[in-house]
Chain A
Amino acid sequence: MSDTTIRPTEAAPSAELERLIEPSSQSRSTRLFNTVFRSREMSILLVLLLVIAAATVKTPSFLFSSNSWRDLLLTPSILLLLAAGQAVVIITRNVDLSVGSVLAFTAYLTGRLFIDHPGLPVVAVVAAGMLAGALLGLVNGLLVAIGKVPALVITLGTMYVYRGIVLSWAGSDRVNASDMPEGFLSLGTRSVLGIPVLFMVAAVVVCLVGYYLHSHRGGRELYAIGSDPDAAVLYGLPVRRRVIAAFVFSGALAGLAGVVYAARYGTVSSGAGTSIELEAVAAVVIGGVAIFGGSGTVWGASLGAILLVTIDRALPILGIPDFWQRAVVGALILSAIVLDRILALRQARKLVTARDES
């Protein structure tokens, strides 16, 4: 057994290894540079900028027209909310497939509230939507944390159950724009200082989540739980409570997304948001959150969401046929996962080599 803990200073490790095992020996600014520019998030941002640049070269109006800037920010807003919630859940080594159905439920609920109680303030409706979403998320969380059944199975089940509830409640009925007050609907399209209100809402949510995950005990514990659930139990972390909270939070954001959906599109049918949960999972995975939890950021997940939506809009402009548009999204997900795996293996190997050499 070699003495691995005392590292002689003269055996200067390579810069790459130094970055990995001796980050403290680097200056503060070098470290900051590394965290920002060598991150997964940065590479997603680059891909996003490339996509936008390519589409703009082909059709300048993609970026340079009166509506284009607004569209660029407005279209991903709903997915951003869902991806933020999904990221929190996936970081704990779980997944929430029910968010699409929750979205449909609260979107329809929003319409019903305006129809049945005209004059209800918008704030109350938003609160009701989030509360309903949180309750549905609580059901997921309780089943996962107490039933000890994998989240994939539980939320697959509740996805159908919640959708069924919406189907039997709404039937073939749909909520139309004329059922909802003008002030509410305008939220879906209005901009302040050139930035759509809905995007602002999503951005605020993402920032709050990002701050919480990075700088609060609860946030760090979510990472710890995802990194090694058994160790988290031995450590005395409140695993059950945190996992339930993650699902409640994801549900509440899906509830908010439902209200936003109603405001943005004006019509709500029972099929609202079908399969958007898969887009949310895809956004999170593309954004560099490990599907087995423990690493990744909500910033990456948000960039993933924006990238997904922007690609959807850019590919037709670039003249790529329908079939290939789906395939590109698939390739993106696969490459994100493969990249994740390769990077993780490479890092692990480097760290082990560093250990054996010292």
Chain B
Amino acid sequence: MPAGSGEVVLELRDVSKSFGPVVALRSGRIEARAGSIHALVGENGAGKSTLVKIVAGVHRRDSGEFLLGGESVDFSSTAESKDSGVAVIYQEPTLFPDLTVTENIFMGRQPLGRGRRIDRRAMHTEAESLFARLGVHIDPRRPALGLSIADQQILEIAKAISLDARLLIMDEPTAALSGVEVDRLFAVARSLRDEGRALIFISHRFDEVFGLCDTITVMRDGSYVDTVETSTTNVDAIVEMMVGREVGDLFPKTPAAIGGPVLTVENLTSTGVFHDVSFEVRAGEIVGLAGLVGAGRSEVARAIFGVDSYDSGTVTLADRTIPKHKPSVAIRRGIAFVPEDRRKQGLVTEASVARNIAGVVRGGLGTFGILRGADEGRAARPWASRLEVKTSALDATAATMSGGNQQKVVIAKWLATNPRLLIIDEPTRGIDVGTKAEVHRLLSELAGQGMAILMISSELPEVLGMADRVLVLCEGRLTADIPRDQATPEVVMKAATQTLQEASA
């Protein structure tokens, strides 16, 4: 265990948390000391965010010890953790768009004047001095609506600083920041450390972790791996701890014959979202689209499928151009899209399995325009059985099924349309390990039958294990096109975190 200078502010031991059948955190452990910046690293899905949310009072732990300042605590709300001096900056800024920047900072603890009246002038002055300290220029009276992600992040930091917290947790605060902004953030973080506060810093960028942090805790698959002093380790050692296993073992990828190009994307641009994205997906090929959260992966997929519009560029499927912003045409031409959030966008959770599967092919189903349950059942049955959807009957509602089975229903739904291209966003998010392998086997099998698959995933092992080729997006630009045999976690991570390098494809 590392030797720290200050006293221990936060200590978690063997903390676990499950959501239904999915174990998000198996045994989380961390020890944050005053006057020190502690990095928490691990792949997406390693349980970092769950751990943070337990400390923040969003979730309650199932078991384990949670000590704050030496005392055992059990927060049932974010207000309680805030009162105990814990400030959290989440990956996604949490702001009230209708209110002013200042109100966003001080909501719930505004300075009061006579008669418990909010002292707006004092509030604005304090906000101004906070921004001055952070070295930024944001007008405290403007609405939070329309702030850039970077400015929103700054606002979150201002909020945390004004709380005068003894423990500050930053969950990937730099994902959307530019170099200058990151430097500024780090200067603030160091000054907070020197004031004797404890900081926990979550990041995927190793240069930042090594440049800023004193200790590093590594997590993998929901479990604690090790804690090391930054000065005694290096990037390779950390990556090894993060990945920790032979990638090939888990992923039943079978080589498939690769045919001609199915999907060709040329110079796809959507201002402020992604720029000049060009790539190909060939028949029988699984192309992994990797990148950090917010890099624009899902946005590219949504643009190809036509859910979102784009400014310029072309999408071609088997030599025919797909018009933009027309998902119905995309479906007819043979694109299937399994979205990231299957509960909200992929399924009618209150409807039966049969109805969900038959949903997209409905046009060709009924007789004389009348759709009968029997028609739906007939269309759905072969697909459901082929995918081994474990539900007693086709008329069970999708909402009652496990995440893995729901995902299979979504895939079945699209297979019923005989697609040439399957775009699948986060295929195994929220699915337990056993079912994950089944989904992977299915993807591999589909590729073997000549389907082109574009797979977006935040889980690096999944990308490396499944993809024939890995495309990496960084801040809306394609930064790498890596063939399977050259794809290693280091190469992908490097491409995902580098800025403004021209696409190598």
Contact = CB atoms under 8 A, between A and B. Distances in A.
A305 to B, nearest CB: 22
Q: Which of A20, A22, A31, A351 has the most CB of B within 10 A?
A: A351
Interface in A231-259: 231-238
A223 B271 contact: no
A25 interface: yes
A217 interface: yes
Overall SS of chain A's interface: helix
Nearest to B93: A231
A20 B181 CA distance: 23
A215 interface: yes
Contacts of A233: 78
Contacts of A24: 124, 128, 139-141
Interface string B76-112: 0111111100000010001111110001000111101
Contacts, number: 131
Interface stretch (B144-152, B362-370, B389-397, B453-461): B144-152
Contacts of A2: 178
B96 A6 contact: no
B136 interface: yes
A4 B79 contact: no
Contacts of B112: 217
A236 B78 contact: yes
Contact of B136 (A6, A221, A295): A6
B116 interface: yes
A220 B107 contact: yes
Interface string A98-128: 0000000000000000000000000000000
B409 interface: no
A21 interface: yes
A227 B110 CA distance: 18
How many residues of B sit at the interface, in one of the four size bands? 35 or more
A213 to B, nearest CB: 11
Given A20-B142, A22-B142, A223 B99 contact: yes
Interface in A183-210: none
B52 to A, nearest CB: 12
Given A24-B141, A217-B108, A236-B108, A224 B99 contact: yes
Contact of B94 (A223, A230, A290): A230
Nearest to A230: B94
B272 to A, nearest CB: 6
B94 A231 contact: yes
A71 to B, nearest CB: 36
A227 B96 CA distance: 5
A347 interface: yes
A224 B107 CA distance: 8
B150 A4 contact: yes
Contact of B181 (A5, A31, A237, A294): A5
Contact of A21 (B56, B128, B139): B139
B36 to A, nearest CB: 26
B98 A223 contact: yes
A10 interface: no
Contacts of A216: 116-118
Interface of A: 1-7, 20-25, 31, 215-217, 220-221, 223-224, 226-228, 230-238, 290, 294-295, 347-348, 350-352, 354-356
24 contacts: A4-B148, A4-B151, A5-B181, A6-B137, A7-B137, A22-B139, A24-B139, A25-B139, A215-B117, A217-B109, A221-B108, A223-B98, A231-B96, A234-B78, A235-B78, A235-B94, A235-B107, A235-B108, A236-B78, A237-B107, A237-B108, A294-B96, A355-B151, A356-B272
- Top-5 shortest CB links A-B: A351-B146, A236-B79, A294-B98, A236-B78, A231-B94
